[in-house]
């Protein structure tokens, strides 16, 4: 049983560019949450998708947007990249009735 | 409100015990504990739901005092493999139909176990 997978593993972009990160949830999970983790910090919640809708959102600007597909996979899009967007982006999946969130390996984004 | 974890760091010898605390200023529905090794994703350890329950997994256990809005993670007879940064993630409530609310993570407690 494959766990949560994310692609790509690493990305290097320049300021002002746009990026799309992808996540496939663990089999049987229908909820996907995205987190940003800066170096030395805990993960920060960006938003959560359930039934192809954004259900909750953290304190992130509109430059951060997402999508969930019918197969429950998800994308995170970030527009107009800033240097401060450099971080590890983690995707976590969970499924009713389970409460646990399982994290993927993350995408390391570097903005130059 | 970000939960506060203490201590920030702890160094142990193999076989020693440790306690990591997590405190929140808001009412909590659940507390989730994760361990993250350098360069890796956080790994789920356990979840505690409101009700003051205590859970355990081998030599790692945790308690949740919802009245005090606190949780503690207990590591007994530590092993080298316990090294890493431990995060608590708190959930304030569930007011929607999804399976889980968003988690607010603390800054982490770095645990180093030496031989």
The pLDDT tens digits for A65-111 are 999 999 999 999 999 999 999 999 999 998 865 578 899 999 999 99
**pLDDT, average across residues A2-9:** 93
B-proximal residues of A, 45-64, CB under 8 Å:
45, 48, 50-51, 55-56, 58
pLDDT at residue number B30: 85
Q: Which of A16, A14, A31 is CA-nearest to residue A68?
A: A31
- Which position has the higher pLDDT, B68 or B42? B42
Task: Determine the Cα–Cα distance for residues B110 and B33; give it in Å rounded to an integer.
Answer: 13
pLDDT confidence band for B49 (50 / 70 / 90) = confident
- Which position has the higher pLDDT, A2 or A101? A101
pLDDT at residue number B94: 54
3-state DSSP percent of chain B in helix, strand and coil, to 5: 5, 50, 45
**Which strands form A64-68's sheet, in the order they lie side by side?**
A5-7, A19-24, A74-78, A64-68
Domain boundaries, chain B: 4-95+102-114
pLDDT greater than 70 at residue B56: no
Chain B residues lying within 8 Å of A31, measured CB to CB: 98-100
**pLDDT, average across residues A21-37:** 94
Task: Determine the Cα–Cα distance for residues B113 and A59; give it in Å rounded to an integer.
Answer: 35
pLDDT confidence band for B97 (50 / 70 / 90) = very low
Minimum CA–CA partner of A52 in chain B = B98
pLDDT confidence band for B39 (50 / 70 / 90) = confident
**pLDDT, average across residues B55-80:** 86
pLDDT confidence band for B100 (50 / 70 / 90) = low
Is some CB atom of chain B closer than 8 A to the CB atom of A43?
yes
Cα–Cα distances in angstroms (integers) from residue A86 to residues A36, A81, A89, B77, B99, in the given order: 9, 9, 9, 38, 29
pLDDT at residue number A82: 97
The CATH homologous superfamily of the domain defined by B4-95+102-114: Immunoglobulins (2.60.40.10)
Domain boundaries, chain A: 5-107
pLDDT confidence band for A55 (50 / 70 / 90) = confident
pLDDT confidence band for B50 (50 / 70 / 90) = confident
Strand partners, A15: none
Please provide the CATH number assigned to the domain covering A5-107: 2.60.40.10
Considering only CB atoms, A42 lies closest to which of B49, B100, B106, namely: B106
pLDDT at residue number B96: 41
| Upstream peptide bond of A97 is cis (omega within 30 degrees of 0) | yes
Output DSSP code: residue A41: S
The pLDDT tens digits for B5-27 are 999 999 999 999 999 999 998 87
């Amino acid at each position: 049983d494959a766990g949560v997978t994310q692609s790509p593993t690493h990305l290097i972009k320049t300021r002002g560019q746009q990026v799309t990160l992808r996540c496939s949830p663990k089999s049987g999970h229908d909820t996907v949450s995205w987190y940003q983790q800066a170096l030395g910090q805990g993960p920060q919640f960006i938003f959560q998708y359930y039934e192809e809708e954004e259900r909750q959102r953290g304190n992130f600007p509109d430059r951060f947007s997402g999508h969930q597909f019918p197969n429950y996979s998800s994308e995170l899009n970030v527009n107009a990249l800033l240097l401060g967007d450099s971080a590890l982006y983690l995707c976590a999946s969970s499924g009713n009735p389970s409460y646990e969130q399982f994290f993927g390996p993350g995408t390391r984004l570097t903005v130059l | 409100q970000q939960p506060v974890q203490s201590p920030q760091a702890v160094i142990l010898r193999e076989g020693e015990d440790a306690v990591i605390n997590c405190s929140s200023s808001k009412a909590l529905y659940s507390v989730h504990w994760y361990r993250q090794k350098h360069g890796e994703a956080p790994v789920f350890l356990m979840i505690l739901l409101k009700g003051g329950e205590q859970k355990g997994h081998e030599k790692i256990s945790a308690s949740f005092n919802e009245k005090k809005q606190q949780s503690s993670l207990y590591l007994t007879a530590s092993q080298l493999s316990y090294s890493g940064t431990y995060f608590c993630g708190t959930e304030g409530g569930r007011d929607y139909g999804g399976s889980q609310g968003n988690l607010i993570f603390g800054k982490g407690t770095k645990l180093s176990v030496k031989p």
